[in-house]
Structure 1
């Protein structure tokens, strides 16, 4: 009887403990998605220079601020404003083609723009050396 009570007490204590340790990847996804949403909000608002400044090191070493502003403006302007953006997938990766090894979360959204009914946006945050997540790539297909 004491064994059953001890097991029951242990199970109750275990179930009362926080579950954040159960899925460490969930916290990674949350942090990366938060960074991606903040960054894409700047891009959606046409604040292209600010989106470049808030991007990650890899992003900024791959494209100059001026080139980014010109390129994203010409890409996004014909699409019009965002009507809907729905999360389709998140995937953790430590290697990506053409990118240095590191920690990445590849986030894909199904997005409807004013002038394009269906597009797939891919936003890829990367963990920086200081532990923060910042966008390292952005693509629209």
Structure 2
């Protein structure tokens, strides 16, 4: 465990998470409803506690620690996590902030470059429907494709067609809570078109991932773009309102 990690307050962790997701001090201040001075104070205190020289280094270390913690919890929960799928869906809504702490910030808000496009699950705003019976491990996508894979493929078609508004509308609550349609369009334009046309896209796997409250599905495609061969597209989907919704997307 990195020295000082346990000394970080939740507010300091929140600020570091926004930093590693691509925010600067001004956008963090707007997001948190704080002054830039307060944001910088949080970052300074976090650097001191983590014993690092830069805020970005502190943010990266926090992300790495929380990812390891989430993976460990996932291993521990793999036998029981999906028992919640059988719960009464009329139960009280899940506390989203508590759920995010348990997941450990496996994902972020917006982190995009020409090699990486990440819009991923970071919070859950309200209850979701329990998904169908989960798979215990990654498996090759079945033929014919499952509803999850079909939904993921249809969403990618919107992105391929540069239908930014349509693709944003097809995302889940968690995605929309973190990314406005304008922001999604702005960043997508800088990332997707340079990859060129899709020459081939093959469903590689569909995996059920244990995470509160009901888990989510991760679908991977092996994709060949005109300007990038051997890419792997990963989408995270949750069940909302009787339909699958995309809440995470990466291109590696």
Q: How does the TM-score come out when normalised to structure 2?
A: 0.42
Higher relative contact order (CA 8 A, sep 6+): 1
Q: Distance in 2 between matches of 1:140 and 1:121?
A: 5
1:136 paired with 2:252, answer no
1:43 paired with 2:159, answer yes
Aligned residue for 1:81? 197
Aligned residue for 1:52? 168
Q: Distance in 2 between matches of 1:132 and 1:123?
A: 15
| Displacement of 1:101 | 3.7
User: Structure 1, residues 2-51: CA drift from partner, whole Å, max 9, x if none?
Assistant: xxxxxxxxxxxxxxxxxxxxx94589x82211211111111111101110
Q: In the alignment, is the contact (CA less than 8 A) between 1:103 and 1:127 conserved in 2?
A: no
Give the secondary-structure state (helix, strand or coil) at the position aligned to 1:87.
strand
Aligned residue for 2:230? 118
- Structure index of larger Rg: 1
Q: In the alignment, is the contact (CA less than 8 A) between 1:123 and 1:138 conserved in 2?
A: yes
Once the two structures are superposed, the pairs formed by residues 5-84 of structure 1 within 5 Å of their partners are 24-25=133-134, 30-84=146-200
Q: Distance in 2 between matches of 1:78 and 1:41?
A: 16
Give the secondary-structure state (helix, strand or coil) at the position aligned to 2:146.
helix
Gaps of 5+ in 2: 1-131, 136-141
Q: Distance in 2 between matches of 1:25 and 1:94?
A: 9
User: Structure 1, residues 72-108: CA drift from partner, whole Å, max 9, x if none?
Assistant: 111111110111111111101132xxxx643311011
Gaps of 5+ in 1: 1-22
| Displacement of 1:52 | 0.2
Q: How many residues align?
A: 113
Give 1 or 2: higher strand fraction.
Answer: 1
Q: Distance in 2 between matches of 1:24 and 1:105?
A: 11
Q: Distance in 1 between matches of 2:214 and 2:247?
A: 11
